[in-house]
Amino acid sequence: MGATVPRQSEPSLWSDQTRCPCGLSDHIAPNIRVLFVGINPGLRSALLGHHFAGHSNRFWKVLYASGLVPEPLTYRDDWRLPAFGLGLTNMVARPTAGIRELTAQEYEAGRTQLLTTIARYQPSVVAVLGLSLATILLGTGRISTRRLPGLQRERLVNSSVFLLPNPSGRNAHYSLADMVKVFRDLREFLLKTVPHSTVHKGGMITASEVDPFLLFADIVQETAAAKESTLDPGRATDRTGDWFLARCLFYIRFSYRVVQWMEDP
């Protein structure tokens, strides 16, 4: 929707976005349940313009396997996360091949910007991806091997902090199964503590309970899936009408959110 400005929010039909000079956008909406925070984009993510696009990155597999989203997603779907009450951002906008290329000044400026973002959008939980990032954000001064994944005693602004493993394939300390378990712990924490958290099929989190537009879209999608399951496996199906209706509802929902964002002083 027009020109973009580095590290400043702008409305979108799908989410409020923050675009860094490399073209990688944040995907955040007001009052989301979880804001996932990484340190900075990798080079492939920056090149493709999508979060967690590295070949070995396990974020999208774990997100679905843990039940935090109701369907399999890839990095191309990162813009859809606000519809599930989830958001994506990085503390530092500049993409690098590794975090050793980042400077102390970038960390300090990024932390300040992140706290401003948290204060504005007020997520229930800030999900910190990686021990190194937790050390920087929570101000321990050095990486502590005693800090364990899960809910942390510190808070950022008014948000709870939940430490998750870094999903990068370089993180050899966690297998895929171990990582899924920690992400499931986050889901269970949301179900117990966050207002309006609901259990979707298989215990998956959905934002639709507090949003009639998204609720109707969920019904349309589930009805289409039920119809498809009753047909012969070899029979071709046409769900274009169902898909179109659900997409229109999403456009209405987020257009309404844009209006709210513009009216917010």
Whether residues 222 and 202 share a domain: the answer is no
Whether residues 127 and 242 share a domain: the answer is no
Q: According to the model, what pLDDT value does residue 264 have? A: 45
Whether residues 177 and 119 share a domain: the answer is yes
Q: According to the model, what pLDDT value does residue 140 have? A: 54
Q: Which of 207, 226, 255 is the last residue of a domain?
A: 207
Bigger pLDDT: 172 vs 145: 172
Whether residues 218 and 160 share a domain: the answer is no
CB 35 within 8 A of CB 90: no
pLDDT at residue 14 tops 70: no
Mean pLDDT of 104-109: 89
Assigned domain for 4 exists: no
CB 224 within 8 A of CB 231: no
Whether residues 36 and 146 share a domain: the answer is yes
Residue 166 has which token pair?
Answer: 């870094």
Whether residues 130 and 239 share a domain: the answer is no
pLDDT at residue 21 tops 90: no
| Structural domain range at position 242 | 211-265
Give pLDDT tens digits for 54-94.
888 999 999 999 999 999 999 999 999 999 999 999 999 88
Assigned domain for 161 exists: yes
Q: According to the model, what pLDDT value does residue 2 have? A: 37
CB 43 within 8 A of CB 57: no
Whether residues 194 and 215 share a domain: the answer is no
Q: Which of 159, 182, 207 is the last residue of a domain?
A: 207
pLDDT at residue 29 tops 50: yes
CB 171 within 8 A of CB 129: no
Total count of domains within the chain: 2
Whether residues 123 and 13 share a domain: the answer is yes
Give pLDDT tens digits for 214-260.
445 444 544 544 444 444 444 444 445 555 665 666 666 556 555 54
Assigned domain for 1 exists: no
Bigger pLDDT: 28 vs 212: 28
Give pLDDT tens digits for 170-223.
888 889 999 999 999 999 999 988 765 543 434 444 444 334 444 454 445 445
CATH assignment of the domain containing 22: 3.40.470.10
Please choose, from the candidates 58, 71, 68, the residue with its C-alpha nearest in 3D space to the C-alpha of residue 188: 68
Whether residues 68 and 190 share a domain: the answer is yes
Question: How many C-beta neighbours within 10 Å does residue 173 have?
Answer: 10
Average pLDDT over all residues of the chain: 75
Whether residues 135 and 235 share a domain: the answer is no
